[in-house]
Structure 1
Amino acid sequence: MNTLVDGVAQDHIAVRDRGLAYGDGVFRTLRCEQGRLLAWPRHYAKLQADCAALGIVCPEAALLLADLAQLAPASAAVKIIITRGVSARGYACDPSASPTRIVQVAPLPDYPDSLRTEGVQLRLCAWPLSIQPGLAGIKHLNRLDQVMARREWQDASIFDGLMCNARGELVEGVMTNLYLLQGNALYTHPLADCGVAGAMRGLVLELAAGMGVQICQQAFGADRLAQVDALLLSNSLAGVLPVRQCGAQSWHNFDLAQQLHAALLEQARKESIPCCPV
């Protein structure tokens, strides 16, 4: 993995950085293909929005792109982390602190085409998502809920785990957004008080609506899985994936997932920009 911290090649941060001490920051993960950042405007807009929600100054896009030009990735997983920066001990924020920006480039994970033709296997996690309306939707650095949920399995055949909140509402995967297809309606949790509103989630909902699918953002429990025609997942690196099995439930309708994946890739590539401008 290649890493820049504030534009300098290094793999460490200050011990007083608030991202380390408190998880005080946000991040984005995006896909780079053949030297182009897919759906960059969406990712940067979400980074700006998440920074604003926490009161952190978001670095200018040009600065982040200059960092990426240094790393010059070809095909890679790109991660951008913005912390509030370095401050004295204690929870109080130093208004004069400069945000720390971290840009990392790593190999893309292996997501073979068979995942889209055969579907993936999931499990239900016991660890609940924390309810906190003030942080809902934000991809902040406090990921302990996801860490604890991911500790629940070591079986490599399980692609992801589904997480409920304390009310028993099925919200999302540990590393994915979740959609339930029933008839011509696509259901997803509204994420009003928990969960991550991924950049690709917005694009999936736009594309599905453009295909004539009814979009329903409403809460539902895990018992709903027995009633639906298909389950779909999305994230920035994998795109859209169909689900084959979760516990005792199984599905074989992969059509919409495959259509959405193709459409998402096409649109994300249209919205891509080069990492290293000529």
Structure 2
Amino acid sequence: MFLVNGISATTVSAQDRGLTLGDGLFTTLYLKNHQPTLWPYHVARLREGCARLKLPLPDVDRLYEQCCQLAAGYDEACGKIIITRGAGGRGYSPQGCDTPTIIVSAHPYPIHYHDWQFSGIKLEVAEQRLGCQPMLAGLKTLNRLEQVLLKNELDERSIPEAIVLDWQDHVVEAVTANLFWRKGEQIFTPDLKLAGVCGVMRAFVIQQLHSWQYEVTSVSTGLPALLDADEVWITNALMGVVPVTGIQDVKYQDHRFVQRLQNALAALA
């Protein structure tokens, strides 16, 4: 089900800059108990993204109401909020584009994530690399062609997920998730100043660990540091916190922090 500018519809203008230029952003939500979870984190993401792309921030209370409206038809679902700059002319200039397009939708939940949460997932390393673009790093813009090509690689290799590096051989993220690892009592996550997406579940995990007196260090590092970890996990808004059981030939059997984070998330939901 889709709401386009608050009206039930499945189409937008052929001149919409989200279509013609990828000019916009989105956030993906876990809809549970007929409402979006981690809502304050999504609002913070939308606020930052709109500010950096110089888009007007929609009425977040109205967005929340629309998410609840669509969630009413599901026990759990995948929600999505898309904000584009709206319809415009042929060129790049955003001048005159004063009316953004707001699309809110709900979709069936990918139930395999429940299996991942319980049993974990083994990762490979993607062959394709992410480009570095500090102007857009951290944002979830509508231009997701890198992820489309990476997901196609997963399909062709018949693997569920993979670690993605940038062109400097730094670990950035998984194809559809953020990444954390623990060595002893130290916890790390990739620095996303040049590439990658700052996910809402990533923000939740960092804040939760901070409340337990654990600091998360953002680092630019290669694959060897990850392979030397004692515990690894991936996160996104839909999958929550998923333990990584192995990367290539390296296995991880200690998932104590994952279990604590999963319990904290369940209590919040």
Query: 2:157 & 2:262 partners in 1: Cα distance?
Result: 23
> What does residue 155 of structure 2 align with?
154
> What does residue 167 of structure 1 align with?
168
> What does residue 48 of structure 1 align with?
47
The CA deviation string for residues 138-193 of structure 1, in whole angstroms up to 9 with x for no partner, is: 11111111111111122797331211111110010111000111110111112111
Structure 1 position 69, deviation (Å): 4.6
Query: 1:150 & 1:247 partners in 2: Cα distance?
Result: 18
Paired AA for residue 103 in structure 2: I
> What does residue 24 of structure 1 align with?
23
Paired AA for residue 259 in structure 1: R
Query: 2:113 & 2:53 partners in 1: Cα distance?
Result: 37
Structure 1 position 115, deviation (Å): 2.3
> What does residue 248 of structure 1 align with?
249
Contact 1:67 1:103 (C-alpha < 8 Å) held by counterparts: yes
- The 5-angstrom pairing of residues 1-278 of structure 1 reads 2-71=1-70, 72-74=72-74, 75-111=76-112, 113-154=114-155, 158-267=159-268, 269=269
Structure 1 position 36, deviation (Å): 2.0
Query: 2:221 & 2:255 partners in 1: Cα distance?
Result: 21
Query: SS of 2:153's equivalent?
Result: coil
Distance change >3 Å, CA 145–CA 78, structure 1 → 2: same
Paired AA for residue 31 in structure 2: C
Structure 1 position 126, deviation (Å): 1.4
Query: 1:7 & 1:120 partners in 2: Cα distance?
Result: 38
Contact 1:240 1:261 (C-alpha < 8 Å) held by counterparts: yes
Structure 1 position 15, deviation (Å): 1.0
Query: 1:55 & 1:180 partners in 2: Cα distance?
Result: 34
Structure 1 position 217, deviation (Å): 0.9
Contact 2:36 2:67 (C-alpha < 8 Å) held by counterparts: no
Contact 2:36 2:68 (C-alpha < 8 Å) held by counterparts: no
Paired-residue identity, %: 33
Query: 2:215 & 2:68 partners in 1: Cα distance?
Result: 41
Range with bigger deviation, 54-63 or 149-158: 149-158
Query: 2:168 & 2:259 partners in 1: Cα distance?
Result: 32
Distance change >3 Å, CA 261–CA 111, structure 1 → 2: farther
Range with bigger deviation, 23-32 or 69-78: 69-78
Moved over 4 A (4+): none
Paired AA for residue 65 in structure 1: Y
Range with bigger deviation, 54-63 or 89-98: 89-98
Structure 1 position 225, deviation (Å): 2.7
Contact 1:183 1:229 (C-alpha < 8 Å) held by counterparts: yes
Query: 1:70 & 1:225 partners in 2: Cα distance?
Result: 42
Computed over aligned residues only, the root mean square deviation of the Cα atoms, in angstroms, reads 1.7
Query: 1:136 & 1:54 partners in 2: Cα distance?
Result: 12
Count residues with an aligned counterpart: 267
Query: 2:26 & 2:189 partners in 1: Cα distance?
Result: 23
Query: SS of 1:162's equivalent?
Result: strand
Query: 1:93 & 1:226 partners in 2: Cα distance?
Result: 45
Contact 2:113 2:239 (C-alpha < 8 Å) held by counterparts: no
Distance change >3 Å, CA 113–CA 21, structure 1 → 2: closer
Query: 1:21 & 1:73 partners in 2: Cα distance?
Result: 32
Query: 1:10 & 1:59 partners in 2: Cα distance?
Result: 19
Where relative contact order (Cα < 8 A, 6+ residues apart) is larger, the structure is 1
Q: TM-score, normalised by structure 1?
A: 0.90
Structure 1 position 210, deviation (Å): 2.4
Range with bigger deviation, 220-229 or 137-146: 220-229
Distance change >3 Å, CA 78–CA 228, structure 1 → 2: same
The gaps in structure 1 that reach 5 residues or longer are: 270-278
